[in-house]
Amino acid sequence: MFDLKYNQSLSDYNSWRVGGPAKCLFQPKNIEELKSFLNQLFKSSPDEKIFWIGLGSNLLIRDSGFDGTVIITQGTFNQITVLDNNIVRIEAGVACGTAARFCARLGLTGIEFLAGVPGTIGGALAMNAGAHGGETWQYVSQCESIDRKGNIHLRPLSDYQPHYRHVIRPADEWFTAAYFKLIPGDKAESLEKIKTLLAHRAATQPINLPNCGSVFRNPPNDYAARLIEACHLKGFRIGGAAVSTKHANFIINDQNATALDIENLITHIQQVVKDKFNIALIREVQILG
């Protein structure tokens, strides 16, 4: 009934291009199929581990893979709907850059910064993604989510607690869409802002090589990249993974790295920064497996 893939490598589903297989991989055709799948999965395996992947940025999948079910949202939950009062409903599988440009073309401003976030709206909601002074949850008015049994919930902002790069939310629920309350503004100015953000990103980040985006959160009143660079770690390599010489808070896979290479490099950076500055860098990237 469902198009399921078993023992499917996840290396094609994340931006580092590493990682082992998922026990089961499912890309639903629509929300009704997802509801039915989750309901049947709950009845047959109520404790099954479930993980959702959009564009697979901000994610490190270990070489051993994931002993559970992975649900792919990208390419399925990709609708954007303009509602009254400058509210835009954006589904979880929409790429952040697509959402930013769509709204800018309508003269609805506020989320231009999302053009520089290499993920989907679902991921941006889950981690309160931000860039250039903006954060996702500044503009969210309510969210749609789906639970383990396949039930859809429309939740107010008060059901969530957004923080820097993470959000406290109802357990065992996953985002399917969000409603963004935006600000009417100048279309040309908004599109120009996006163009400038993307040019800055291309100039300062290794976007042409496999990476996950920023690896570490910025500590209070400082920048992870500054600390890493001050430790002379730019270009430092473990196996096929290296600290980018373009931006020190990026790890690139430029020589067929394994997930273990990347994880060991993350740990090494944390240890060196801790030894030199007595600052514990917190991972922004999520590790699966």
The predicted-structure confidence for 33-66, as pLDDT tens digits, reads as follows 999 999 999 999 999 999 999 999 999 999 999 9
pLDDT tens track for 149-176: 999 999 999 999 999 888 999 999 999 9
Does residue 34 sit in helix, strand or coil? helix
Domains in the chain: ranges and CATH: 4-72 (3.30.43.10), 80-204 (3.30.465.10), 224-288 (3.90.78.10)
For the annotated catalytic residues, the residue numbers are 165, 214, 284
Do residues 92 and 82 make contact, with C-beta atoms less than 8 angstroms apart? no
**Among 77, 245, 278, which Cα is nearest to 177's?**
77
Question: What mean pLDDT is reported for the chain?
Answer: 96
pLDDT tens track for 170-179: 999 999 999 9
pLDDT tens track for 64-121: 999 999 999 988 899 999 999 999 999 999 999 999 999 999 999 999 999 989 999 9
CA–CA distance, 116 with 281 (Å, rounded to integer): 22
